[in-house]
Copies of this chain bind each other. A is one copy, B any other.
Amino acid sequence: MPLNSFGQLFRFTTWGESHGPAIGVVVDGCPPGLALSEADIQPFLDRRRPGQSRFTTQRQEPDSVEILSGTHEGLTTGTPISLLIRNVDQRSKDYAEVARAYRPGHADWAYEAKYGLRDPRGGGRASARETAARVAAGAVARRVLGEEVRIRGYLVELGGDPIDRAAFDAAAIDRNPFFCPDAAAALRWEAALDAARKAGSSLGAVVEVVAAGVPAGWGSPVYLKLDSQLAAAMMSINAVKGVEIGDGFAAARLRGEDNADAMRPGADGRPQFLSNHAGGTAGGISTGQPVVVRLALKPTSSILTPVETVTRTGEAAEIVTRGRHDPCVGIRAAPVAEAMMALVLADMKLLQRAQTGR
């Protein structure tokens, strides 16, 4: 079963547990002749890497990537690219409590109901550590997309406090630990997250990812809609509970004439859109406008506030989740969502080329 794979043509398969010796990803279907070295991948992993501020888990993982196959003399060969990231800072002793009782909000109980057993160390395969493999694969996808497609992910809401769209400053995104494009909001978020963390609680967030430079024509009209693939991709990220494209849920509150993206003849002879309520897709196919996706992330379920639960042997218990956790998993989801956008788009690019030769 392609349980751990994603993509039709540009297809990647991830493997590895939070507390095993390593995690990794195999990228299959990559075009040949693209320049690729570890240096092209590492910067993206560094953006997602834990331990860079007090707002993410303190687990220290260098997340150094090794290319084990698929390149020759610095170019992709068209054969599978195997990327390996070693786990360095596991502390499995933290997880005795997890082995004994089910953590609410976590997959513990569902895993056991499914498999009859589970690896309790760090959530095993359910750990957000798996997303490092996606980020590595995403860096390869960016090579496929080339320079023209520019992808940017950032937080637009944290703990229910949204940014001010009027204050949007792309340059601000990398100047705070929240990938926040509104410097004032970042300051508020810092205070709110500090307070939550000290209270043994956690906060949720909303991430937005925008891909500019996507040509019109990527995607497909029915089940392999660009929208549908993006929804699957984003919803597969840990803690994501909602996905919207363009105006999303707000579009359901617009009237037809307000939601329509009117067109005028553009300088290049192609239609020029006067708005982008649709978020860059129509009928499942890219329109040439920026592709805009938002994802809602629930607050981290690993908290120090005690919650009622049940042990594996069926007794009532209270659990607090110690160990090292992100007080807001939404933060590090920004580079992961960027990677998933790149991975979906690379796949759609190859699909379009396959079917139409364009």
Contacts and interface: CB of A to CB of B under 8 A. Distances in A.
B246 A243 contact: no
A244 B241 contact: yes
Contacts of A24: 68, 82
Contacts of A241: 227, 244-249, 251-252, 278-279
A102 B263 contact: yes
Contacts of A315: 265
A203 interface: yes
B110 A16 contact: no
B231 A69 contact: no
Interface in A95-121: 102, 104-111, 113-119, 121
Contacts of A253: 157, 159-160, 204
Contacts of A352: 114
A56 interface: no
A160 to B, nearest CB: 4
A26 B29 contact: no
B125 A77 contact: yes
A28 B9 contact: no
A200 to B, nearest CB: 8
Nearest to A233: B228
Nearest to A16: B69
A310 B263 contact: yes
A51 to B, nearest CB: 20
Please classify the interface of chain A as helix (H, G, I), strand (E, B), loop, or mixed, using the class held by over half of its residues.
mixed
A172 interface: no
A43 interface: no
Nearest to A246: B241
Interface in A266-325: 269, 271, 274, 277-279, 281-288, 296-303, 305, 307-310, 314-316
Given A4-B79, A31-B356, A69-B125, 8 more contacts: A15-B82, A16-B69, A77-B119, A110-B217, A227-B235, A232-B232, A238-B283, A242-B244
24 contacts: A1-B220, A3-B224, A6-B223, A29-B354, A32-B115, A78-B355, A80-B125, A107-B284, A109-B282, A110-B281, A110-B282, A201-B256, A228-B231, A230-B235, A235-B243, A242-B251, A251-B296, A252-B296, A254-B299, A256-B299, A262-B309, A265-B314, A277-B298, A350-B354
